[in-house]
């Protein structure tokens, strides 16, 4: 047993050494990400010292960019399931070689989610109040307590699956089904749960009519299954360009099918929501009116949402056309869809629920520079983590790094 642990530590150590090798592009990329992460850390510490008054949030709009990013990223993390399902349930081999890359993305993104929640806390020093057993956890009543559980378990599940399967490749052993199959299947259900619970977080609040819609959880999933695989389409092309890992066009085209269908469902559900809000035209439409057209002379979100609408529409049309079988147009469609969904789920879904306030006050939210820097920092740190994970894993997958391969000199 101790030998096994020792071997595993050696394995992780050798993988970690891979991260200090690379060409100038790699170092430039990593340095840039580190620099932005540090800028974000600096901005966060300013907030930590002074308080959340350095953000644009107010008593009326008490959640902002942090929770918006959090919501978007939970979806990105859940999207790994779109690769797992074809491979493990339908035993389709097309995506077999990239499943692990999707799961690694999930690990990095969940860490980003946890960071976004942490920077949003007024008292991050009291995070331990949320640890079951030590703190005082309001489970099962509070939806936020559910979210803490599902996110952390999803993180552990994916970390375990990746760590185990890559180690087996390294050791040239066949993975024992009992050590990963049950976890993979649990992770499938869990992926749906993280985004559903995150939707329930909002949906369960009777005092916020804008969120009080049963369609939000399905909308979350549809947009997640667009943005997540879309992000992977872009990432996989970079990976196959800069490493020896072979990723066929067939796999990318299969992801295209997933993105295509999800995007259609996403836009359809959005249409359903808009119809219900605007055709009914009850008093509850105030937030949606503010979002799309402005209300009582306040138009803060109007440019955001119409940008998102335009991006979503162009992405949808591109994805439907045969042109997006060419990587150039596919990449464009994915890029537009990701940005469109980021706006729609963030600024478009979180902020309007607070405007007008429950007492009818019109207080708009404009994120501050410091807030943007914190967000940029977390994004850069997430990308940094994902790059590190890939850098550690890919040499194993390409069999360049084996127990007997010569250790690379520094």
Partner 1 sequence: MGDEQRPDGKGGEISRRAFLAAAATAAVAATAAALAPMQDITDLPTLEEFLRKHYTELTPTDKEAIIARISAQVEKEYGVRPHLTDPQPMTGVEYGYALNIGRCIGCRKCVYACVEENNQSRDPQIQYIRVLEMKKGSIDVETSNTDYEGEVPKKDSFYMPVQCQQCRKAPCVKACPVKATWQDPDGIVVIDYNWCIGCRYCMAACPYGARRFNFEKPMIPKEELNPEMGLISNRPRPKGVVEKCHFCLHRTRNGKYPACVEVCPTGSRKFGNLLDPESEISIILKTKRVFILKEEVGTLPRFYYYFNI
Please count the residues of this chain forming the interface with partner 1, following the rule CB under 8 A. 73
Q: Does 361 bind partner 1 (CB under 8 A)?
A: yes
C-alpha distances out from residue 259 to 59, 110, 275, 337, Å: 38, 21, 24, 9
Q: How far is the CB of 300 from partner 1 (least distance, A)?
A: 18
Q: Which is nearer to partner 1, 177 or 206 (CB)?
A: 206
Q: How far is the CB of 2 from partner 1 (least distance, A)?
A: 32
Q: Which is nearer to partner 1, 11 or 354 (CB)?
A: 354
Among 1, 59, 133, 214, binds partner 1 (CB under 8 A): 59
Site for partner 1 in 269-288 (CB under 8 A): 283, 286
Q: Which is nearer to partner 1, 243 or 307 (CB)?
A: 243
Stretch that binds partner 1, among 139-147, 185-193, 267-275, 322-330 (CB under 8 A): 139-147
Q: How far is the CB of 355 from partner 1 (least distance, A)?
A: 11
Among 125, 297, 322, 328, binds partner 1 (CB under 8 A): 125
Q: Does 391 bind partner 1 (CB under 8 A)?
A: yes
C-alpha distances out from residue 41 to 34, 371, 376, 377, Å: 10, 11, 10, 7
Q: How far is the CB of 38 from partner 1 (least distance, A)?
A: 4
Q: Which is nearer to partner 1, 160 or 240 (CB)?
A: 240
Among 9, 16, 32, 35, binds partner 1 (CB under 8 A): 35
Q: Which is nearer to partner 1, 160 or 208 (CB)?
A: 208
Q: Does 22 bind partner 1 (CB under 8 A)?
A: yes
User: Hey, CA dihedral for 382, 388, 394, 396, is it positive or negative?
Assistant: negative
Q: How far is the CB of 268 from partner 1 (least distance, A)?
A: 28
Among 8, 48, 167, 329, binds partner 1 (CB under 8 A): 48
Closest by CA position to 288, among listed 353, 222, 333, 212? 353
Q: Does 405 bind partner 1 (CB under 8 A)?
A: no
Round to whole Å and give the CA distance between 45 and 209. 35
Q: How far is the CB of 63 from partner 1 (least distance, A)?
A: 6
Q: Which is nearer to partner 1, 6 or 296 (CB)?
A: 296
Q: How far is the CB of 188 from partner 1 (least distance, A)?
A: 26
Round to whole Å and give the CA distance between 84 and 162. 12
Stretch that binds partner 1, among 32-40, 81-89, 167-175, 330-338 (CB under 8 A): 32-40
Q: Which is nearer to partner 1, 38 or 176 (CB)?
A: 38
Among 51, 182, 303, 403, binds partner 1 (CB under 8 A): 51
Site for partner 1 in 200-219 (CB under 8 A): 201-202, 205-208
Among 6, 16, 32, 42, binds partner 1 (CB under 8 A): 42
Q: Which is nearer to partner 1, 138 or 257 (CB)?
A: 138
Q: Which is nearer to partner 1, 48 or 329 (CB)?
A: 48
Q: Does 242 bind partner 1 (CB under 8 A)?
A: yes
């Amino acid at each position: 047993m101790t030998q096994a642990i020792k071997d595993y530590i050696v394995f992780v150590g050798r993988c970690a050494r891979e991260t200090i090798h690379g060409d100038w592009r790699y170092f430039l990329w990593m340095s840039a990400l580190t620099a932005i992460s540090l800028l974000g850390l600096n901005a966060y510490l300013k907030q930590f010292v002074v308080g959340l008054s350095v953000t644009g949030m107010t008593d009326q709009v008490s959640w902002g960019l942090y929770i918006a990013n959090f919501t978007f990223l939970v979806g990105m993390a859940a999207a790994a399931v779109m690769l797992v399902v074809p491979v493990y349930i339908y035993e389709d081999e097309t995506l077999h070689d990239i499943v692990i890359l999707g799961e690694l993305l999930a690990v990095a993104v969940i860490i980003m989610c946890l960071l976004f929640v942490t920077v949003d806390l007024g008292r991050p020093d009291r995070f331990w109040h949320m640890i079951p057993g030590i703190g005082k956890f309001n489970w099962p009543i509070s939806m936020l307590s559910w979210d803490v559980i599902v996110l952390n378990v999803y993180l552990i599940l994916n970390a375990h699956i990746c760590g185990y399967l890559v180690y087996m490749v390294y050791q040239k052993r066949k993975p024992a089904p009992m050590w990963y199959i049950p976890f993979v299947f649990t992770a499938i259900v869990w992926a749906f749960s993280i985004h559903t619970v995150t939707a329930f977080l909002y949906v369960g609040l009777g005092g916020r009519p804008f969120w009080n819609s049963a369609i939000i959880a399905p909308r979350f999933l549809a947009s997640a299954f667009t943005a997540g695989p879309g992000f992977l389409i872009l990432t996989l092309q970079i990976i196959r360009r800069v490493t020896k890992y072979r990723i066929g066009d067939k796999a990318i085209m299969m992801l295209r099918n997933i993105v295509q269908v999800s995007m259609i469902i996403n836009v359809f559900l959005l249409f359903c929501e808009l119809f219900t809000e605007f055709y009914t035209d009850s008093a509850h439409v105030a937030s949606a009116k503010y979002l799309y057209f402005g209300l009582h002379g306040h138009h803060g979100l109007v440019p955001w949402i119409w940008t998102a609408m335009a991006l979503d529409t162009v992405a949808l049309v591109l994805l439907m056309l045969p042109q997006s079988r060419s990587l150039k147009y596919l990449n464009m469609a994915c890029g537009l869809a990701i940005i469109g969904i980021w706006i729609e789920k963030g600024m478009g879904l979180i902020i309007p629920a607070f405007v007008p306030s429950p007492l009818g006050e019109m207080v708009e939210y404009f994120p501050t520079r410091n807030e943007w820097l914190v967000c940029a920092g977390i994004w850069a740190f997430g990308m940094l983590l994902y790059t590190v994970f890939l850098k550690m894993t890919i040499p194993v997958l390409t069999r360049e790094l084996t127990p007997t391969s010569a250790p690379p000199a520094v």
